[in-house]
Amino acid sequence: MIVYVVWGSTYLGIRIVVEEMPPLVGMGTRFVAAGLLLGGLLALRGVDLRVSRAQLAGAAVLGLLLPFLGNGMVAIGEEMGTPSGVAALLVAAVPLFVTVYRIASGDRPRTWSVLGVLLGFGGLAWLVLGGRDQGDVPVAGALIVLMASGFWAFGSWVQPRLTLPENPFVLAVHEMWTGGVLMITVGLVRGEHYAPLEYDGRTWLAWAYLVVIGSTLAFSAYVWVLSNAPIGLVSTYAYVNPVVAVFLGWLILEEAITSAVITGGLVIVASVAIVITVERPRRPADERELDPV
């Protein structure tokens, strides 16, 4: 439930933060702070945070794919004007990308899964291109968010294949701080100007929400679920988050809910539902597996 609801609200938080903070440094400090906070809480509970070099390398790969290339690129896309609700709908394509990775790796998904993917990408195209005359979706920003969706899907797909810390919360700590450091480094190299004294209370409140609720709580919950449940079941968050994000964007930021958002969004959510329903394991033994959708 945390991943379902809270993550839908993080798109709104990101949109508010990037109005003043630079996207990569802003999100990088978010994940470093969250990693330190979660690490401190675990240390107080006596959890050993030490990991092997191989495990740290695996966590760093996920830090690159999920916090950096996933979340960081969403922030860039939203800074470029992509509405928070539209960003959430684009990220809802994660299960569709996972199916594409399955095909590329030699797996053979069911026919309905392939049809669901084709339908979903049609919905994505309509969401981005169909709304151009309504002025609500900048194509460049939307494409960056869509790329973020692809990276996030790859990170989720590849996680069971990496050498990682056994404790999922220890994994979350190292994944967040490594991803955060990467974001800060790249952000500074690309010339982002970080001036914390210039940001108002609204920006810092949204940033703090992302640190405590969006990262320390929800991101840790996602890593735990990803380590303990089939990816097909985990992926169901993808058609709940957009509903929350679109509603909050409309309610708080007065983001327009256009015909392109409604039509494209419904097609995307329907396609994701098809893929996840068709690919969900039916046997009890399969339910314990972490094979991708």
- In the prediction, which pLDDT does 287 show? 34
Residues 6 or more apart whose CB falls under 8 angstroms from that of 173 comprise 35, 38, 39, 42, 49
* CA 145/CA 76 separation, integer angstroms: 8
The rounded distance, in Å, linking the Cα atoms of 246 and 9 is 9
Q: How far is CA 184 from CA 30, 33, 37, 187, in A?
A: 10, 12, 18, 5
What single-letter amino acid sits at 1? M
Tokens of 197: 């004294």
The DSSP secondary structure of 70-133, one letter per residue, reads IIIHHHHHHHTT--HHHHHHHHTTHHHHHHHHHHHTT----HHHHHHHHHHHHHHHHHHHTTGG
Quick: pLDDT tens for 215-251: 888 877 777 776 666 655 566 666 677 888 888 888 8
Separation of alpha carbons 13 and 9, rounded Å: 7
Q: CB-based burial of residue 160 (10 Å sphere; 0-12 exposed, 13-18 middle, 19+ buried)?
A: middle
User: Helix crossing, 23-44 with 201-209: angle to 10°?
Assistant: 50
Amino acid at 287: E
Distance CA 27, CA 14 (A): 8
pLDDT category of residue 207 using cuts at 50, 70 and 90: very high
pLDDT for the residue 133: 57
- pLDDT at position 4 over 70: no
Phi and psi at residue 121, to the nearest 5°: -70, -25
Distance CA 111, CA 41 (A): 46
pLDDT of 179? 97
**Nearest-angstrom CA–CA distance, 88 and 86:** 5
pLDDT digits (tens, 9 = 90+) for 160-184: 899 999 998 899 999 999 999 999 9
What mean pLDDT, rounded, does the chain reach?
Answer: 85
Query: Do 245 and 237 touch, CB atoms closer than 8 A?
Result: no
Going by C-alpha positions, the residue among 172, 10, 169, 170 that lies closest to residue 87 is: 10
Confidence of residue 191 (pLDDT cuts 50, 70, 90): very high
